[in-house]
Structures are given as structure tokens and as C-alpha cells.
Amino acid sequence: MGSKNTTDYILETLKNEGVTHVFLVPGFLIDPFLSGFARNSQLCPIIAAHEEGAAYMADGYARASGLFGAVICIGGPGVTNTTTAIAVASADRIPVFLISGDVPVHWQGRGFLQDSTLAGINETAILSSVTRMQLDLPCVELLEHHCQTLLRKMYSPAAPGPVHLMIAEDIQQKEVPQKIPKKLPSIVHKQRILDHSTLPEVWQHLSARKKIMIIAGAGVTSSDASKELIIFAERYAIPVATTSTGKGVFPENHPLSLGCAGWFGSRWANETLISGEVEVLIILGSRLSMMDLCVIKKDPVKQVLIANDINFDSIFRSFTVDVPVLGDCQEFLKTLNNTMDATMQAVQAHNATRNQWLVSIKNQGTRVYFPENCLSTMVPIHPARVIHELRQIMPTNTILTVDNGAHTLFVGHYWETYGPREFFTSLSHMGSVGWGVPAGIGISIARPDAPSVIITGDGCMLMNGVEIQTAARYNLPIIVIVINNSAYGNPNLRSKTVGVIEDQLTLLPSHDFAAFARALGAEGFTVDKPEELSSTFLKALSLKKTVLVDVKCGNYPTPTKIFDHGLKFSSY
């Protein structure tokens, strides 16, 4: 019987779990993996410009695929370069499998270059707070155990997140018995569990009260519960808003959609939440971060809060919940949808009232604030005009990834999303600037079936914009749009009200990012007049390659007045 070495086994394990691409930056301590890729044609290695970019790509791949992302790097500086990206994945509960190569065993603690073992810089300590588990592989006999243990921990339903496997360079080359690695049982990926004990109380409140509203979060997406949510909302005429990370899980062109709630939320969602009219608020699969909380005003007497999440701590993180429902979102909604008795009829008895309420909500004004900005002829260009023109051009199933900054608030507010896993943001907990371009590359690789757009800012481009070369190198059909306002957007908006020096410290030079993209192998266009947006976007879409569009924008106030007011006077 033939044999495989450690790297062969690990790559085969990744393949068996459904992973198609692995992200890395080459280096001596992971050289054996390069030979492993040469022997495994079913896994595609993607070489990034920087380890942080590689880890962000793995993060994006996991978000878009519903599986996990895999990243390989050298120990020492390779591991430290991934730290911020791993922290983002940890905060957002994204499963990422990090594999690092360490110095040969006989050199550990003896001054070998890039030693990051316990005897070196101790990478375990560095990543301890941002990983769910870390294991060092001391011998090949533990290979199967370590891989299976880390995969299970990474997929933990209550708190999925990054894990880390450390392998010395010489152990990577050791032979292991030739066998097919075990595939995780499906229950590890999706645990369809539900505590039924509080369901009678749920139905009691739904049938007794009329004005019911749903906020759907990322947990609805991760549990693939979008269809069940639509069925439930339609059956009982319940308006639905989403969190920023849940955007798209309920189609924003659906008659019952209130749009997104929170920082870049819509008029309909935010003003309904602060109105005091909501009698029952159902929160599905969301921890409710600062992004969401400043527009939620809970009246402990008038309002009942029902929260469903597979993580019990998430249910109680932000508010005192009246009816906690522990379990998978899809299982919860499916159970509600399968109830076809007098209870259902009692809730439906108030459908007409809710329909009238929905009409009154939408009569307050348009879904977005300042709709006139969508047709603005101002120069520099208004970001709302950019988003409006882009939505008119791109197909309905376009996948949009947005970086973190002032541009995020315009994108989230003015862009409509019509399906789950079609809008991606990390502006929920860490909000790391520079996430968008590399994460968007991973997202595009995971979802080649749909057009892919990344919207980023000039400040973001200065951090990880070099990964444009990765997209161009692999000929990925991605449109990257830079909202180039020559400033660190949000800090500059704040500093303008403080003083001249503060204002100057938040300004940036006006860089030519179109030329930068061309230098890295992509196509690049510059737009400085609003009437040129539509034709440029059409051209970019037709090229079916990596294209960067540098849009010269002004740093205009974001459409977040309601949220900003709530944040100023929040007391939690």
C-alpha cells in the first residue's frame, strides 16, 4: 500500500469537507504544502499579496459558501500578519481553518529564523483570544485526531469561528498511512435543534397582539432559513427588517420588507422601531450589536421581545428578553410554519390590521432618506448617485461586498439586496478598514455563479488595495469601485466640526487608483462626472475581468441622522 505525507492528508481533508480553494502566501516553513498542491489537482491554491489578505479571502470564502475558509501561512511574521483578519472572523463567528508552518522540531528554541513556537515568539499566545482552539501537531499519529477536533470546534453551532493548526516543517513531510480522511457528519455543519418549551408562550403573544415586527440577522442566513422566513411573514402579514449582516435574507423588494435597521438603516425600519408602536418584536439570529441597538427602544410594559438564537448568550446580550427560544432559526420558523390549527387562525385574525399598519409606515416617506441624492448632479460626485446608478446597471443577483468606512453607510442605505448571501459587510463588531477587497475576492471565488462587486474607499485601498493584483492574476470578473473622497471619511466628517488641524489630519492625497489597478494587471477607469457613471459601469460589466472604477466623490454627510441621534443619547 502506498502512503501520503502530512500535507497530502490535510489537503485531502479540506477537499473532502467541500473546500475548493485555499489561500496562502508561500514561505520556507510551508514549502511542503506547495508540493502537496502539485499532487492534489482538486484543490486550487490562491496566492495572495499578504497574509492578512489571504486570511480575509478565507473569511469571505466562508461567508459566501456557507462552509469554511482555509488559509496557510508561515509561522512568525506570517501568523502575526493574519491576526487582525482572524480577529474579524472570530468576532463575526466565521469558520476559518488557519494552518501555520513552524520551524523544524530539532531547531525549536535554538534561534532558528521565524521561530514562533513556545520557545520563540509563542504564536499560540498571540492568537489565543481570537481562535476557538489551537493545536500543535507533535507527531503524525495525532494527525487525524487534531484535524477532526479542530473541524468540530470550528463549526460549533453556538460560537463557530477560527481554529489554528501548527505543524513543524519536518513533520509536514512525514508519511502517514494512506487512507481517506473521515468526513464530518452533516449534523456538525447544521444542528437542527430547538427547545420547544417556550413555543406556547410565543403563540400566546402573537395571537394576543396586533403590531408584530421581525428583525432578521445573520443567523437566519447561516441556518439557510430565508424561505421559511418569507413563508412565515407572508402567512401572518408581518413586516420584516434585517440587521446589517442579515441584509438580503428577506428580499428588500418584497412588499413586507422594511429594509435594513440600524446605523445605515432605512426610514421605514428605523422610525418604526423608535415609534413605540411595535407590540411584539421578534429577533431572529442576531446578537444585536451597536449597529442595531441605537434605534431599538424597548418599553417593558407595552412591548414583548421574543428572541431566537442557537447561542443562549446571544439571546440575552443586549436586552431582557421576555420569551427566549433557544435553537436553530430554520427549525424555529419551520416549526411555526407547520402549525396549522386554531392558533394560526388567531394570529391571522389581525392580518388586516397589520396590512393597514404597513401602509401607514410606508406613507411616512420613501424607504431611503434624501432620495434626491440618488439623482444628484453635484461634483464631486455624491456617493448615493454612485450606488443608485450601479443598482440600475447590475443584475438582480449581484453579490456586493462593502468595505468599512463612510461609504459603507451609503451603500447599506441605498443599495437594495434581493437574496441571502448577496450582501457582505464586516461592519458589525470589528469593522476593520481594508477588509473589503480581499474578502470580496474570496466571496467571488466561492460564488462564481453571480456577478461580483466590491465597494471600497480610498483609505481602505491604502491598506489592502494591493490585493487587486490577486484578482487580476486569477482573472476574476470583479468590479471594484473606489469611493475616492480624499479623506478618511467618518473621522473627517467628525473633525470638520472640531477644528482646522483636526480636519487636515483626516485628509488624504488624491491618488489615481485606476492607474494603480492597471499597474497591477487589472483594468482601470476614472469617473469624475455623475453622467459618466452608468456607461462606465456597463463597460466594466461587459469586460468580464478585474476592473477598478475610481470615482471622485465628495465627503458628504451620511444618511444616518436617526441612528446618530440614538447613539448620542444611548444609555446602555
Residue 563, pLDDT > 80, answer: no
Residue 572, pLDDT > 70, answer: no
Query: pLDDT (tens digit, 9 = 90+) per residue, 532-548?
Result: 999 999 999 999 999 99
Nearest residue to 72 via CA among 4, 123, 25? 25
SS3 (DSSP) at 107: helix
State the average pLDDT over residues 391-402: 98
Which of 14-23, 44-53, 99-108, 322-331 bottoms out in mean pLDDT, i.e. has the lowest?
A: 99-108
Which of 172-181, 264-273, 470-479 bottoms out in mean pLDDT, i.e. has the lowest?
A: 172-181
Nearest residue to 399 via CA among 446, 357, 364? 446
State the average pLDDT over residues 39-47: 96
Residue 560, pLDDT > 70, answer: yes
Residue 314, pLDDT > 90, answer: no
State the average pLDDT over residues 108-115: 73
Residue 2, pLDDT > 60, answer: no
CB atoms within 10 A of CB 4: 19
Residues 6+ apart with CB under 8 A from 290: 263, 567
Nearest residue to 89 via CA among 55, 50, 65? 55
Looking at residue 566, its pLDDT comes to 58
Q: How far is CA 311 from the centre of its chain?
A: 18
Of 228 and 114, the one with more pLDDT: 228
Under the banding of pLDDT at 50, 70 and 90, the label for residue 294 is low
Which of 180-194, 366-380, 530-544 bottoms out in mean pLDDT, i.e. has the lowest?
A: 180-194
Query: Do residues 338 and 235 make contact, with C-beta atoms less than 8 angstroms apart?
Result: no
Query: Do residues 31 and 168 make contact, with C-beta atoms less than 8 angstroms apart?
Result: no
State the average pLDDT over residues 209-219: 96
Which of 32-41, 406-415, 552-561 bottoms out in mean pLDDT, i.e. has the lowest?
A: 552-561
452 strand-pairing partners: 399, 478
Which of 307-311, 484-488, 492-496 bottoms out in mean pLDDT, i.e. has the lowest?
A: 492-496
Looking at residue 569, its pLDDT comes to 45
Looking at residue 313, its pLDDT comes to 82
Looking at residue 3, its pLDDT comes to 76
User: Angle, to 10 degrees, between the axis of helix 533-543 and the axis of helix 383-393?
Assistant: 50
Quickly tell me which residue has 492607474 as its cell.
Answer: 515
Quickly tell me which residue has 420558523 as its cell.
Answer: 333
CA distance readout (Å), 268 to 55, 194, 359, 546: 37, 31, 11, 36
215 strand-pairing partners: 241, 283
Residue 509, pLDDT > 50, answer: yes
Residues 6+ apart with CB under 8 A from 461: 437, 482, 511, 513, 516
SS3 (DSSP) at 266: coil
Looking at residue 485, its pLDDT comes to 94
Looking at residue 568, its pLDDT comes to 54
Looking at residue 269, its pLDDT comes to 95
Return the percentage of the chain with pLDDT > 90, whole number. Answer: 77
Nearest residue to 244 via CA among 424, 453, 57? 424
Query: pLDDT (tens digit, 9 = 90+) per residue, 360-369?
Result: 999 999 999 9
Under the banding of pLDDT at 50, 70 and 90, the label for residue 301 is low
Nearest residue to 442 via CA among 171, 169, 69, 99? 69
Residue 571, pLDDT > 50, answer: no
Distance CA 335, CA 315 (A): 19
Q: How far is CA 242 from the centre of its chain?
A: 14
Mean pLDDT estimate for the chain: 92
Residue 140, pLDDT > 90, answer: yes
Residue 420, pLDDT > 80, answer: yes
Read off the pTM.
Answer: 0.94
Looking at residue 318, its pLDDT comes to 74
Distance CA 384, CA 414 (A): 7
Return the percentage of the chain with pLDDT > 70, whole number. Answer: 95
State the average pLDDT over residues 212-226: 96
Query: pLDDT (tens digit, 9 = 90+) per residue, 404-414?
Result: 999 999 999 99
Looking at residue 493, its pLDDT comes to 83
Under the banding of pLDDT at 50, 70 and 90, the label for residue 491 is confident
Quickly tell me which residue has 434605534 as its cell.
Answer: 295
| Omega cis (within 30) before 491 | no
Looking at residue 565, its pLDDT comes to 64
**Nearest 5 degrees, angle CA 245-CA 246-CA 247?**
95
Looking at residue 1, its pLDDT comes to 40
